[in-house]
């Protein structure tokens, strides 16, 4: 049997001579399969790149929202203490207001006594507005 001749367009694999038409067909079939795999892998790569793009956008959005929430938490961290301080201040002012009203009533009584039992202008002896 004559040895196959190697040409520039169809080099033999190292150590393996070409086996004529069967080998050419096998190589064409293998080439077709590899091209199909390449198309499938390219499509999968495109899907993965698109998925990576969506996930990157989602990560960016979540980082932004997390930073904003952390900022809000820092801003509101003192709110309970401020609320408690305002409650305490409100209680103190309510007590002070009651004390001042009592003192006003006492002073009005003293003024009325100094006037000889006459009510102060604008008030009646009972402390209600005059007519």
Interacting residues of 18 by C-beta distance below 8 A, sequence separation 6+: 4, 6, 10, 12, 24
Q: Do 60 and 37 share a domain, yes or no?
A: yes
The tens digit of pLDDT for each residue in 57-89 reads 999 999 999 999 999 999 998 899 999 999 999
Domain count for the chain, please give it. Answer: 2
The tens digit of pLDDT for each residue in 5-52 reads 444 444 555 556 557 889 999 999 999 999 999 999 999 999 999 999
Range(s) of the domain holding residue 51: 21-77
Q: Which of 130, 100, 127, 131 is nearest to 111 (CA)?
A: 127
Q: Does residue 130 lie in a domain region?
A: no
Q: Do 50 and 73 share a domain, yes or no?
A: yes
Q: Which of 80, 84, 83, 123 is nearest to 105 (CA)?
A: 123
Provide the whole-model pTM.
Answer: 0.45
Does residue 123 sit in helix, strand or coil? strand
Q: Does residue 70 lie in a domain region?
A: yes
The tens digit of pLDDT for each residue in 80-126 reads 999 999 999 999 999 999 999 999 999 999 999 998 866 555 555 55
Q: Does residue 3 lie in a domain region?
A: no
């Amino acid at each position: 049997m004559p040895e196959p001749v190697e040409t520039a367009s169809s080099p033999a694999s190292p150590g393996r001579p070409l086996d004529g038409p069967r080998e050419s067909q096998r190589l064409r079939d293998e080439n077709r399969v590899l091209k199909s795999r390449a198309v499938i892998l390219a499509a999968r790569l495109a899907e993965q790149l698109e998925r990576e793009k969506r996930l990157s956008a989602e990560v960016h959005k979540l980082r932004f929202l997390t930073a904003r929430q952390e900022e809000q938490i820092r801003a509101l961290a003192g709110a309970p203490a401020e609320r408690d301080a305002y409650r305490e201040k409100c209680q103190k002012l309510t007590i002070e207001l009651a004390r001042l009203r009592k003192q006003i009533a006492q002073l009005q009584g003293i003024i009325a006594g100094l006037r000889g039992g006459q009510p102060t202008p604008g008030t009646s002896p009972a402390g209600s507005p005059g007519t």
